[in-house]
Chains A and B, each alone.
Chain A
């Protein structure tokens, strides 16, 4: 469903993505992992259109979307959950969920979606999406907005980043349940073993290149990948 052909992205004379070639199949749960600075987030942003590659092509469901703006990609069926959920002034959780949904939704439906991501819906639906919400709450709301889009492809950029371990442990239930919440293909950038364990396929990146692609077992058994993952886990703790 998604094909990246010879994607290159360079900033300040540094090759952030160095000739990436990748094919992603329909209805798979793909994890991208690798050390910080390996180009994972940039790759995710390039798929969504937030960054544009210097060269290469992005094909989505047989359509060349390389030059397509973000909103058109969203309408084609690509969703994106931000590493740092964006805060607003005056826009409520319900407003955001209404914008996210492709069809009209009422408060009950919005509340149902919030409950699925583990938020006590009544307390949140009318709150503003601002700094009064904690990192963990914002993450859950972010997941709720992308879940409602029912995208063909949903990308999560390091959902564990920026939240404390306690909130993450709670959030992990949501991700374990992800296949019920998110429809279609999921690409999730993560360092967390718990998330990597539930992936159909893991892509290991290093220095802007794909080092290894394989099923979860295969890659996790790769000693280096596992070491990397554990080291990064420790670092984050």
Chain B
């Protein structure tokens, strides 16, 4: 990997693991260009011809393969836009790890907008892990705007885990799902913002097929002067089930706004939205202090546990 230096490796390790990446199919994108790729018997990766990005094809009945598609940005002032489409064959079962690490030491803004679309055929099963990370002392902003669109054919399921813990100044995350019969779409999102960071998350899930279900869990922590917004729109168009949970801890002058919108267009749609925002419970701090932690240490333990 001659194009990959120490900073790149650190970034890759923050969002994934260099050793793990090389075990299966992968595509590494650096500063707006694909720099390394490996395909396997069951997973093919092709560069898009009409726009930046890749198409990933997973053969039907593929069992338990890992696919890594990390993006790293180390040049200040880069504005990267990429379209990645995943075509998952019937009954395939894969784990996809994506993510973007930005190292910005300079004053220009670095931005990555990744648009990921997933097309799952009947019975396919995907676990999609997405991790976002920013570092560097520069005044240039680190901006990430991921879009995820999911289309689930009958009997398929997708579990998405997204984590953004450090260093991203501004983010708008959009996740959309269209679910056919007997499908399941699980989203678990963890965000921590500090300083003057701004994060907005939008979910829009259409439950179109009988027995489609979705579970969206968002856990977030907003400290200092950071701001977060969580919007979830769920449309129950048939006999279906949805559970959306937004749980946030605020500290200092951090703010969190949760906007639920659940629409039941069918009498058999069962939709639930829960939102809880508040500071760390005093009794939790006291309990950990009786176990010998200082107030600050107790706070860290509570937040780390909450975001795990």
Contacts and interface: CB of A to CB of B under 8 A. Distances in A.
Q: Is chain B a partner of chain A in the same complex?
A: yes
B289 A99 contact: no
Nearest to B281: A86
Interface centre among A86, A96, A145, A149 (most CB of B within 10 A): A86
Interface in B280-308: 281, 283-284, 286-295, 298, 301-302, 304-308
A92 B306 CA distance: 10
B305 A88 contact: yes
A96 B298 CA distance: 11
A82 B287 contact: yes
A212 B301 CA distance: 42
B4 to A, nearest CB: 34
B291 A100 contact: yes
A89 B306 contact: yes
Interface residues of B, number: 23
Given A89-B306, A91-B305, A71 B287 contact: no
Contacts of B307: 90
What does DSSP make chain B's interface, helix, strand, loop or mixed?
A: helix
B233 to A, nearest CB: 25
Interface in A17-56: 48, 50
Contacts of B219: 89-90
Nearest to A50: B286
A59 interface: no
B204 interface: no
Interface residues of A, number: 23
A86 B305 contact: no
B247 interface: yes
Nearest to B304: A90
Interface in A65-93: 69-71, 74-75, 79-80, 82, 86, 88-92
B308 A145 contact: no
A88 B307 CA distance: 12
A102 interface: yes
Contacts of B288: 99
A155 to B, nearest CB: 9
Contacts of A70: 286, 289-290
B305 A90 contact: yes
A47 to B, nearest CB: 11
B289 A69 contact: yes
Contacts of A89: 219, 247, 305-306
Contact of B291 (A50, A74, A92): A74
B292 A71 contact: yes
Nearest to B308: A90
